[in-house]
Structure 1
Amino acid sequence: MTTETLIEAPKSRFQRISNLLLAICLGVMAVAVFVNVVLRYGFGSGVPASEELSRLLFVWMVFIGATAAYPAGEHMAFTSLVGLLKNQPRLMLAMTIFIRLLVLLGCALIGWGAWQQVVVGLDSHSVVLNYPTALLPLPAFLCATAIGLMALFEIINRTPLDLGHGAEVE
């Protein structure tokens, strides 16, 4: 078994799990909103928890998607300048490490701020469903942690930047 196969198997499993979680969030949101709309317009009453549940699931869905997009190379990238360094391996390696360090810095800042909001939210609860409001910033913390760990492993393994789209001008 090659190293590439060992790396691809967890990525594939991670993608399947994240896609499943995204589908569950989207499905529950769609059903909750649909039922609420039908009840409001058809019977003059709605389910108050529908809006809160949809908001919570939407926040989780956004950050699960952001986490899943990182290893797939689907985040926005400005690769036109870095693409010019393809023929200079040392400079390309230095730029790759610099970019990944910037990703780590961004993840640290987002994670720190999100964690502070989680701590603040532990003492308060949502109005209708009564869940701790710490559940709203928690996915941002988990996303920043996951992407930070992936970037750290890419630095350690010296994973090259993905310039698969031909380093088009963006």
Structure 2
Amino acid sequence: MAAYWLYGIIAVLIAAIFLAERKYPEVISNLEENILALLLAAITLVSFVQVVLRYGFNSGFGGALQLTRILFAWMILIGMSYGVKMGSHLGVDAFVRMLPKRGLRIAALFGAACTALYAIILLNADWLGIFGANGKGGAMTYWSKMFQLQLGLEDLKYPTFMVDQFGWPERVQRWVAYLILPISLALLAFRSIEAFVQIFKGERDLMIAGHEAEDLVAENKDALKEAN
């Protein structure tokens, strides 16, 4: 059974981002960039410290590898929605660019709608039963199970003083690490819907940053002259 209260928290988060962006767009963009930069810096720092401890002092942090994997996953998952927002996801647009303006717009809207639908299905597929599809589960259901079971990660542990002083479990719970799954998918759906609206209004052409055809033409514009 899904923790339905998490839907409310995610809805409030997205609403807050939406309202804040209307008034302070640069602040939200900088915040997202800083979060991604901090995650990358944390990965680098943990890896560096682990190498120094291992080869310099024959010691090390037991959960370093798992921590860097989790941080890397968080960076990728948060980066999904940020990439949609900034239009920085790579894509091949050689075909759609050959379409007339109306066809390009329809293709772009279709792509944005498919991305939003993809994120929503991964978030929770139970609603597909309305259409007779045998779909169930998703990130929300998976996270809820981890939250109810309170299972710990294999290697990553809380500091000893937290365990002693606050009575925390020895190992970091899986639901803490996996919380990014429903949040990131909800943000991806939000950014995809936002892109759909922007494309519909004519504020952007595509969700992707695909300019392979233009780059190829620019690089080879003098090729025929040189050949002759």
TM-score normalised to structure 2 length: 0.61
1:76-155 aligned at under 5 Å gives the runs 76-85=90-99, 87-89=100-102, 91-112=103-124, 113-122=138-147, 123=149, 124-127=151-154, 128-129=156-157, 130-155=171-196
- 8 Å Cα contact 1:111-1:145 kept in structure 2: yes
What whole-Å deviation, never above 9, does each CA across 1:92-127 have from its counterpart, x for those lacking one? 333232222211221123223222321232221113
Aligned length: 162
1:166: how far off?
Answer: 4.8
Unmatched segments (≥5 aa) in structure 2: 1-20, 125-137, 158-170, 217-228
Offset of 1:15 from its aligned partner? 2.7
Give the structure with higher Rg (CA). Answer: 2
User: Where do 1:1-170 residues align within 5 Å?
Assistant: 10=25, 12-85=26-99, 87-89=100-102, 91-112=103-124, 113-122=138-147, 123=149, 124-127=151-154, 128-129=156-157, 130-157=171-198, 158-159=200-201, 160-162=204-206, 166=211, 168=213
Whether contact under 8 Å (1:36, 1:50) holds in the other structure is yes
CA distance in 2, matches of 1:141, 1:97: 24
SS of the residue 1:131 aligns to: strand
Deviation sequence 1:107-151 (CA, Å, 0-9, x none): 123223222321232221113322221234332322221121122
Percent of paired sites with the same residue: 20
Matched to 2:174, the amino acid is T
Partners of 1:45 and 1:164 lie apart in 2 by: 45
Q: Which range moved further: 99-108 or 112-121?
A: 112-121
Q: Secondary structure at the match of 2:95?
A: helix
Moved more, 148-157 or 34-43: 148-157
CA deviation digits over 1:28-86, x for unaligned, max 9?
2222222222111222221113223222211111112222111111113221222122x
User: What TM-score comes out, normalization by structure 1 length?
Assistant: 0.78
Q: In 2, distance between residues paired with 1:42 and 1:114?
A: 41
Q: CA RMSD in A?
A: 2.7
Q: Identify which of structures 1 and 2 has the higher relative contact order when contacts are C-alpha pairs closer than 8 Å and 6+ apart.
A: 2
Say if 1:114 and 1:138, in contact at 8 Å, map to a contact too. Answer: no
Which residue number in structure 1 is paired with residue 161 of structure 2?
none
Gaps of 5+ in 1: 1-5
Contact conserved, 2:90 with 2:209, CA < 8 A, in 1?
A: no
The 3 A distance-change label for structure 1 pair 166 and 47 is: closer
